[in-house]
Amino acid sequence: MLSKYPDYRIINLDKLTYAGNLKNLVDVEKSPNYVFVKADICDARKIKSVFEEYQISDVIHLAAESHVDRSIEGPMEFVMTNVVGTVNLLQIAKDFWKGEDGHIFHHVSTDEVYGSLGDEGLFEETTAYDPRSPYSSSKASSDHFVRAFYHTYNFPIKISNCSNNYGSHQFPEKLIPLMINNIVKKKPLPIYGKGENIRDWLWVNDHASAIDTIFHKGRIGEAYNVGGLNEWTNIDLVKYLCRILDDKLGREKGENEKLITYVQDRAGHDMRYAIDASKIEKELNWKPSLEFEEGLDKTVDWYLENSDWIEEVTSGSYQDYYDKMYENR
């Protein structure tokens, strides 16, 4: 968006928690229309000062605690950032904009708020919420508050609910970068249960283009589901990654699959997510640009070419935390 809209001044506000990394921003940090602010969305005084100093006209709200495993270990952080932080942003934006026209608050959420699907069916924008984890419950609550501000105050909101993202720069607690990193290091590949849980995967660049499209063209008060239009079981995905990396790392066929280890299933593990993205395609003419296999190949190449980045973000407390967690399972 920095390059596409040079007339915009974009303020990137981030708390820089364990998954935050300013080195992810080296390609944009010198852009003349870019400003970085380190802040917590729960800090009302700081957020108010940012709105006043930079005269914030619109908000794209992606700030969240996002990893289900961590929400099971400690749900209160998720309540604070995802619920309290969201309401804080809503209230400050509402007070600052004073009901004026021309503003947008785009709230970015997840398909996990809908719960778990059976063998058939897709999540639609009208699907009833049925969150099963502390993470998805916190996101469902934030979605409800965003809608409440629209209905109660006529506040100008848009909501998007996306499927699992993958791509470059993803913190390696998530499935795909975790597996790539473990394969490279010949470490066990922990698979929850039997690995039969199904997810719809969305390339992060496509998600960024969807946010751009919804922000500029979506209707006020509406929600849009954003999906990659493909479903994979976890075990099939991991085996596919193993085969890709057998070839890219020059290993014998099947060598990486021997690293697969089945561990105790995650508590409340939803069986299947699948997005119906027909609304955003029909209304806004958006659809994914890449087939999953192509996006996955690009993603694997990025992690192989950026081993220093991986080493830096997986050092210390992160690696200890996950090694201990999987040992306990």
135 is catalytic: yes
112 is catalytic: yes
Q: Are 272 and 119 in contact (CB under 8 A)?
A: yes
Q: What percent of the chain has pLDDT over 70?
A: 96
Q: How many CB atoms lie within 10 A of CB 286?
A: 21
Give the residue-averaged pLDDT of 108-121: 93
pLDDT for the residue numbered 56 = 98
pLDDT for the residue numbered 111 = 95
Residue 317, pLDDT > 90, answer no
pLDDT for the residue numbered 265 = 83
pLDDT for the residue numbered 267 = 82
Residue 292, pLDDT > 80, answer yes
Catalytic residue chosen out of the listed positions 135, 150, 192, 273: 135
pLDDT for the residue numbered 316 = 59
In the numeric block, the tokens 């008060």 are attached to 221
- The CATH class of 10-171+200-232+268-291 is alpha beta
Catalytic residue chosen out of the listed positions 40, 65, 111, 143: 111
Q: Are 245 and 183 in contact (CB under 8 A)?
A: yes
Q: Tell me the C-alpha distance between 203 and 224, whole Å.
A: 17
pLDDT digits (tens, 9 = 90+) for 54-111: 999 999 999 999 989 899 999 999 999 999 999 999 999 999 999 999 999 999 999 9
Q: Tell me the C-alpha distance between 308 and 181, whole Å.
A: 12
Can you spell out the DSSP letters for 114-159? G----SS--B-TTSPP---SHHHHHHHHHHHHHHHHHHHH---EEE
Catalytic residue chosen out of the listed positions 14, 40, 65, 112: 112
pLDDT digits (tens, 9 = 90+) for 186-223: 999 999 999 999 999 999 999 999 999 999 999 999 99
